[in-house]
Amino acid sequence: MSRRRYCKPELLAPAGDLLRCKTAILYGADAVYLGGRKYSLRSRASNFTEADIREACAFAEEHGASIHVTVNEIPHEEDFDGLEAYLKFLEEAGVRAIIAASPSIMVLSKQVAPKLEVHCSTQLSITNSEAAQQMIEMTGCDRVVLARECTMEDVKKITSAVSRPVEAFIHGGMCVNYSGRCTLSNRMTLRDANRGGCAQSCRWHYDVLENNRLLNSEETLFTMGSRDMMAMPVLEELIQAGVASLKIEGRMKTEYYVASVVSAYRHLIDELCDREEPLSESRLAYHRKEAEAAENRMTWSGNYPGIGGESSIIYRAHTDADVNHAFLGTVISCTDGVLELETRNPIDINDRIEVLEPGKENRSFTLEWMCDSEGNEIEKSRIPMRIIRMKVPFEVASGALLRKDLK
């Protein structure tokens, strides 16, 4: 009987700014992908200056991680202005890889910045092994990021057939349409989806008419907003398939989201690869609960178990009922059992509070005492971004995050 393979893959996390980049690394990301001020999708993410990129690379190197930079817009003629210098800068700054969707950018990068790895973006919709191998041979790219339309069978065959590592998405928002081929946003808002302006028109509501006859009511409007991906149930299969890098989506997401999701996957990957056997249902459920704590949208396993149908779409409007945890704030300091916190959401005495700290299992306590910055004892806190102090039954590191379960 052949032994199952548990080669530990890279955990690749998103970051919209330097704080989130450092958070991702501290909470266990092996690599972080981020965008510069130009050439990147997600134009509304608070993208990185060149100084930020240098600092991110230095921080990553210090912690044994690496930085990937998205150069993944579908470029128009003028978008090449300054690109060569930018690629050279990324190489010199210590960036490990660029993620590119334009084959000519891939080739250019290999010519002018040969130390940079080139990763072929999911925007190119690579869904089979021959397409992946062809892109590798045509562009010299070092890694292929698979389309989110791949099933597990596709992934297994592609990873076993191609000559370079393969990266696959495991968590976060999903385009319901083939990435790079959707221009709904262009039509609806004139914002170019392929250059970072996507307005997520797929999540809007539509009437459906057949020969001018309305098929829906106000309660049954058509929408195509996809559930977010949450691939924990198939993570073991992805690892055994030989996927080299597991990618979390979400450069627009908060520091809390990044910390929660990265931490959850870090623990799951480590546990799977250390034990070299499938986890019990209860352990998997534990990790899944951790990963979903920061989610405010319904999730599914992506197209890995089979192309998504009815259960892959969110038909109802978003409500606060989708939020299962509230982020309370970031710990500023903790001395002699009293921590100082900058608040984000309401906090009440007797709340059950969880502490997320890099490299540690989450701990929790029941809040018995807190005061405002003047030392006045308070029963509740309702003002965001205020400083409060609270008693905790254990020491907590600065930078730790607090949350409470709302369910």
Report 52-91 residues binding another protein (CB under 8 A): 74-77, 79-80
Output 211 or 376, the one with its CB closest to another protein: 211
Distance between CA 347 and CA 75 in Å, rounded?
47
User: Using CB under 8 A, which of 50, 81, 92, 207 touches another protein?
Assistant: 207
Query: Contacting another protein (CB under 8 A), which of 64, 309, 350, 376?
Result: 309
**Would you give the distance in Å from CA 319 to the centre of its chain?**
22
Q: Tokens in use for 166?
A: 């393969």
Binding map of another protein across residues 147-166, x = CB under 8 A, - = no contact: x-xxx-xx--xx--------
The residue (of 3 and 213) whose beta carbon lies closer to another protein is 213
**What does the DSSP 8-state code read for residue 395?**
-
- The residue among 26, 19, 21 whose CA lies nearest residue 357 is 26
The answer to whether 199 contacts another protein (rule: CB under 8 A) is: no
Q: Which two tokens stand for residue 3?
A: 């032994």
Tokens of 307: 């192309």
Beta carbon nearer to another protein, 78 or 281: 78
Vertex 104: Cα angle to 98 and 110 (nearest 5):
50
Among residue numbers 310 through 349, which ones bind another protein (CB under 8 A)? 310, 312-313, 315
Minimum Å distance from CB 359 to another protein? Answer: 38
Between CA 14 and CA 23 the distance in angstroms is 10
In the complex, what is the shortest distance from the CB of residue 63 to another protein, in angstroms, rounded to a whole number? 33
The nearest distance, CB 323 to another protein, in angstroms, is: 23
Query: Please, what is the minimum distance in Å from the beta carbon of residue 116 to another protein?
Result: 18
279 binds another protein (CB under 8 A): no
Least CB distance from residue 35 to another protein, whole Å?
12
Question: Quick one: residue 373, left, alpha or beta (phi over 0 = left, psi -120 to 50 = alpha)?
Answer: alpha
Among 110, 108, 104, 103, smallest CA distance to 84 is for 108
CB of 150 vs another protein, minimal distance in Å: 8
Residue 303 in contact with another protein, rule: CB under 8 A: yes
Cβ neighbors of 392 (< 8 A, separation 6 or more) are 334, 337, 338, 339, 355, 365
CB of 180 to another protein, least distance (A): 6
Residue numbers 164-183 binding another protein by CB under 8 A = 176-178, 180-183
Pairing outcome for strands 338-343 and 387-391: antiparallel
Residue whose tokens read 């990129």: 53
Question: Is residue 211 at the binding interface for another protein, with CB under 8 A as the rule?
Answer: yes
